[in-house]
Structure formats: structure tokens, C-alpha cells
Chains A and B, each alone.
Chain A
């Protein structure tokens, strides 16, 4: 394999980790800058707009809560796509993508849950309501944590990728079922009569900061995801090199290996 150019021509060219590293290394600082810009504008808009007459200042929580909730779902979709990439196309970067997306998605789901709870306390008078939407987000959070636990439990990355991909897809098929059944359960148990932001048409006054914050959060996700993928590639490279070092040390061909390097992969 000669490395005359590192340009990405096809999507499959991304499969080469070295090329991916080169491309992402060029792209991610720009994305980080765009993220910072959008956050600056978004946060300014968040606090510059007037509060809602009904919800008061608490409407500002929505500007964080809604984008985080939206990302918690988008992140799972990204993971499902990566899982398909692992199982169907055997794309070598797909499992890296799926594995690194899980903690990020869990963090955004966590933000959505915490801010939702903080919004619910003054608005509904309680920290937590077994409302259909909250409950399904909570189930999603549990699924993220399960996936992270699975990734940590399997030490062989290739096997963890395949097994994790299957679980992601099973979960992805299940999400609509869970959502539907939770809706059913909710209407059965308590007629929801809570004030919702989406009830009446949203005023453009609130929509503008919401939109900017949504873009900012999405950019943040992709920036973090790309950088985390770079880290994961480097981590695998380190473990390969360590294995290599251990093997050559075993054969005694490359002379003494410094302490702390030749102890094999962790």
C-alpha cells in the first residue's frame, strides 16, 4: 500500500485508519471552533430573550433540555448505523464509531434527564413524573449503560464490536415498541394533564435560541465523537504495538525491550 495521497475519494477510503486520522485531524479543529461559535451565539440568545409569561425563567432550561434529548436519540441512530456497518459491510471504523458513541450518548441522555427533572420541580412540583416521554428516555439511558458495560466486559475488541452491534440493533428495533408500550401504559395509568412546551405553537422568540442550541449541541456531539474515535484508534494502535513488542522480545530478535512496554496487551 503506497501512500501517495491521503485524499478521501470514496466512502470506503475512510476505512483506512491512517487516512481517517489525517482527514479528521484536519477537520476537527474547525468543527470545534464552529461548536464554540454556535454555543456563544446560542447561550447569548438563551439569556437575551424574554421569559415566557407562563413558565417564567424556567423556559430557559428548555434550551438545554430539548437539544440534549434530541441528541440522545440521534446518537443511538448513529450507533445503529455503525452497527449495520460492522455487521453488513464490515467497515473497520464502524465498531470504533459505535463503541465511542455510547459514553457520549449516555452523557447527553443524562443531561436531558437532569435538566428535565430540574424543569419539572418548579413546573410540576415534583422531580420525577412517570410520564411516557421521561420513562422512555430513562429506559434509553439504561440501554446506553448496558452497552457500555458490555463493551467493558469483553476484552477482545473485534468480538466486543460484533456482539455489541447485535445488541444495538436489537435495541434499535425495540425502541419503537418500548416507546409505544410506554405511551399505552401512561394513558392507562394517569391521564397526562401537564403543561407541555409543544402544546401550543412555539413562539419564534423561543424557537430561535432553541434552533441555534440544537445546532451547537449536534456539532458538539460530532466533534467529540470524531476526537474520541481518534483516541480509540490510537489506543488500538498502542495495544498492537505492545503485542508486537512482546512477540519480538519473546523471540529475542530485537534486543531488550524497555520495562513497561513489553508486558503484552492489557
Chain B
């Protein structure tokens, strides 16, 4: 009556989902920053640093 497999599966599923979410957010942020860096390197800048979009 311990059902350890179910507990493990529940924790694994929760962990995988959260890990996927964190990974997605992190990779997304890295890709966006790289794109910005490329654009900056190409000399395309925002008209002023403090300008609201």
C-alpha cells in the first residue's frame, strides 16, 4: 500500500514540466539577448537608450 511508483511519477512529471518551463524561459532570454547584441554590433541602435518603446 505504498504506491511509491505513483509518488515518484508525480514528482517526476512535476519536475520535468517545471524544468522544461525554466529551460524554455532561459533559452528564450539568451536567444533574444544574442539577437540584440548582433543588431547592436551591426550599428543599429535605439534612438536613445532611455526611450520607451
* Contact indicator per residue, chain B 29-53, by CB within 8 Å of chain A (1) or not (0): 1001101101100111110111111
B18 CB to closest chain A CB, in angstroms? 7
A121 at interface, CB cutoff 8 A = yes
Interface size grouping (class) on chain A? 35 or more
* Contact indicator per residue, chain A 241-258, by CB within 8 Å of chain B (1) or not (0): 110110010000010011
A245 contact set on B, CB distance < 8 A = 39, 42, 44
A114 at interface, CB cutoff 8 A = yes
| Residues A238 and B7 in contact, CB atoms below 8 Å apart | no
Main secondary structure of the interface of B (DSSP, over half): helix
- Which one, A17, A92, A121, contacts B6 given CB within 8 A? A121
Interface size grouping (class) on chain B? 35 or more
| Inter-chain contact total with CB atoms closer than 8 Å | 120
State the B residues within 8 Å of A (CB). 1-4, 6-7, 9-11, 13-14, 17-18, 20-22, 25-26, 28-29, 32-33, 35-36, 38-39, 42-46, 48-53
| Residues A64 and B42 in contact, CB atoms below 8 Å apart | no
Q: How far is the CA of A248 from the CA of B42 in the complex (A)?
A: 13
Binding-face segment, A145-153, A190-198, A202-210, A220-228: A220-228
| Residues A122 and B6 in contact, CB atoms below 8 Å apart | yes
A248 CB to closest chain B CB, in angstroms? 8
B33 closest partner in A (C-beta): A234
Q: How far is the CA of A258 from the CA of B3 in the complex (A)?
A: 60
A1 at interface, CB cutoff 8 A = yes
| Residues B29 and A57 in contact, CB atoms below 8 Å apart | no
| Residues B2 and A56 in contact, CB atoms below 8 Å apart | yes
Q: How far is the CA of A224 from the CA of B14 in the complex (A)?
A: 15
B38 contact set on A, CB distance < 8 A = 261
